[in-house]
Amino acid sequence: MRKKRIGGVPVIRRGGATAVGNISLRDVQFLLTAPEIYHDYRTVAVKDFLTAVRTYLDKNKNASSMSSEFITCKKHCTIKELIQLLDREKIHRVYVVDDDGNLQGLITLRDIISRLVHEPHGYFGDFFDGVLPLPANSRV
């Protein structure tokens, strides 16, 4: 995530395209505050990390505001429905999946906002430069 300057990555089932989870920067922050997980963070596999986080959250309901759920939508979801989903779940990232649960893409709150609001070049400094290639007709 640091190298690519992104805030989260999907976790895909081995040998397929089925999304089974998400690891975000918020999860990594959580990792640093949970000694049960943190002690072997350099060697823990992604699937074991997700299991450990979910187990920890189940045992410690008030430990974190982090959601252990992986939120998805289908391609036919409208932008209105997507905004309502983001608001209801208090998240900023939704993975788009097909009917079989195969990952098709990702939509973030920032993606939606950037299509609705013009941000002059450099408005956020260089923070978002190079994160995603912009379409040729982009006003950002």
CB-CB contact of 110 with 92 (8 Å):
yes
The answer to whether position 135 is within a domain reads: no
- C-alpha span between 115 and 66 (Å, rounded): 27
Total tally of structural domains belonging to the chain = 2
Confidence (pLDDT) at 65: 46
Residue among 122, 110, 137, 115 at smallest CA distance from 6: 110
1 in the same domain as 57: yes
The answer to whether position 137 is within a domain reads: no
pLDDT in tens, the chain (140 residues): 878 878 888 888 888 888 888 888 877 777 677 766 666 667 777 777 777 777 777 777 665 544 446 789 998 999 899 999 999 988 888 999 998 888 998 898 888 888 877 766 666 666 555 555 555 655 54
Q: Which of 19, 38, 70 is the last residue of a domain?
A: 70
